[in-house]
Structures are given as C-alpha cells and as structure tokens.
Amino acid sequence: MAGWIFVFFLLVSIAKVQSSVFDVTSAAYGGKPNSDITQALANAWRDACASTWPAKVVIPQGTYYTRGAILQGPCKAPIDVQVQGNLKAPLDSKYLTKQDSWVGFQYVDRLTLYGGGTFDGQNNCYKNKYCKTTQAVNLRLDFVSNSMIRDITSLDSKNFHINVLGCRNVTFQYVTITAPEDSINTDGIHIGRSFGITIDHTTIGTGDDCISLGDGSQQIIVTNVTCGPGHGISIGSLGKYQSEDPVAGVLVKNCTLTNTQNGLRIKTWPGSPGFGIATHIHFQDIAMVNVGNPIFIDQQYCPYSQCAQKAPSTVQISGVTFANIKGTSATPVAVQLMCSRKLPCQNVWLEDIDINYNGDKGLLTSQCAYVKPQFTRVANPLACATNPF
C-alpha cells in the first residue's frame, strides 16, 4: 500500500510540474505566430505568477507582435520567461499601451528571463527627421530582485533599451543590445537607485551611452562588456535634481570600447540644486580603440546649453581609480579631469595609463582642473599637462 501511495503522489507531482509551463501559443491562450499576442501573454503571465510551483512562460520560436506587456508581481514562486521568438513592438508609438514602456517587469522576485529571443522596438525615427520621439523603453525592470536576465537581444528600442529602477541583486549576462549609431537616447542599460547589479559578457552598440548609472546606483559590477558604437560607459549624469542618492561602489573591469564618442566618463551638471556624492568608482583593465575622450571627469556637463554654466557642480567625486587603461584616442586630449571648483575631486588615482593618439590635430596631452591626482606609471603628456588648480 505504501508503494502505491508513493506512486500516486509522484504522478501528482509530475502533473503539477508539467502544468507549470504556460505557453502563449497553447490552446489555453491562443497566441499565434505573426499575430498580436498582447492578451495571450498577459493571461499566461497571470496564471504563471499565481502558481505556487515554479512556473515558466514560453514564447516559442517565430515572430510575434505586442502593443505592450507590463508583467507585475509579486508572484507566488520563482518564475521563468523563456523568449525564443522575435517579439516586435508597433512601428507607430501611438499603438503602444503605455507611452514610456513596451515590455516591463514590476515587483517580481526570482525572475529568470532568457531564451535567445529578440525584443525588437522597431524604432525607425533615426531614418525620419520629422518622426516624433517616444519614451518607450524596450525592457523596463522596476523593483525586481534576485533575478537573472541572460541570452536575449534588445534591438532598435524607441528610447533606452533596458531601464533598471529600484532593483536588487540582478544579473545581466550574454545580452546583446543593438541600435544605429545615430539613434537618439538609445542607452543600452541605464541603472538608477538599484543595489547589487552585475553586467557581464554583454555586447552593446547604440546611439548613446552603452551603460549609464544614475543616482542611487550602488555595488555595481560591469565586466567583459564590449561597447561601441555609442557614447561609452558613464556614471551620470548626476546633480540635475534635488536630493539625489549617492553613487557608491562601482567596478568596471575587462571591457573593450571601440569607436565611441567617450570612454570612461563621470558627468555631473553645474548649478546643481542639491549636494550629491559619487565615490569608490574603479575602472580597471580597459582596452580603447579609437575612442574620443578616453578618460573623462566632466563636472561641467551641459548638453544643449540647458544649465547655468557659471554655477559650479555640487556633486562631490572621490575615491576614483583608472588603472591599466590602454589603447588609442580619437582626440589629442586623452585624459580630462575637469572637477568642480566648489567641491574639488578627492583621491583620484591613475595607474598604468598607456594611450596613444595618431591623428593630426595636435600632440597627445591631458587637461585637469580642481583635482590633485596621484600618478603611477603614467606618461607626462597624460599626467595633467595643464592644471590650474
């Protein structure tokens, strides 16, 4: 009798495990390739999120369309989303269900998003100067924790590709992000007010920052990232708003930047309305290939002349290391450390910097202000050739 009871419970367990797969193309949800699966995906997520067993939502191979998907938790158990197909946004933004988000996950713990599929934002604004820009982010993570995003592609987002807000302990691995070099505001991964975010073995080429860290980004690790084209890897911009949270504990290591407008950059606004902090930031083992402004602290960041240049930045930058940075610069000023006259940069180190310039616009040089960096194995032209401080 005990044996039969065991077999019975085993069969029940197998049935439950099998029922924890929620395929949007199943008869229960009715999604079909080359059609709109907005409702099918919403229903599959609803049922998977309610499962008390680990659940998996599946979008199989094929091409699918959705006007938007805001997938909310909390869920009752760990949840996987396996995207194997090509998911496409509407060409015209007016058909999006939300103007600032296309696909989003909110308040989810223990999410795994994977599968080799593509999130195609179908942004063609860079081809049409009369096109109205939109705020729709390809993939938005709000208050997601203990999660993994791996082996997916974000293509031609209408705005930022991936936006991370209020998240904890999330890893991005083997992610590919692609947009034309002249596409506007197409940051690869933007992080804000999040803790314990790791980006590893990821390839990003866009029309804006490959990776950007906003205020409140803490304990961030970026490793083995290939960046380019784009605007480089940026801390900031910071100091534009009142009461921003500190940026602290950032490691960028073993990355390659190719043909980017900037390299490793910390940028803060002048005329900041409040005081901010950016500290314990380390850039290490970075290869540069024809990069503009390879090493750049810019505390006079003011795009489109939208700020009061005369007022200094009130963001305190401290504890910054640039170590083993090698390669070629697209501009003769390869190192710029332009800090705030109100709050000069503190404890900045440059070690093993070997950057060459082969252009015809002058000799290799560097420029510094309101900073007294420490140098180890840095050639004289790169060691604050001009510094009025």
- Report how far residue 144's alpha carbon sits from residue 111's, in angstroms, rounded to the nearest whole number: 8
Whole-angstrom CA distances from 286 to 168, 197, 357 are 26, 20, 16
The one catalytic residue among 190, 231, 280, 282? 231
In 40-70, which positions are buried (b, 16+ CB within 10 angstroms) versus exposed (e)? bbbbbbeebbebeebbbbbbbebebbbebbb
CA distance 38 to 102: 11
One-letter identity of residue 385: A
Gap between the Cα atoms of 353 and 379, Å rounded: 7
- Tokens 């930058």 locate to 317
Look up 282 and say whether it is catalytic.
Answer: no
Tally of CA atoms within 13 A in the half-sphere of 226 that contains its CB: 9
List, by residue number, the catalytic residues: 231
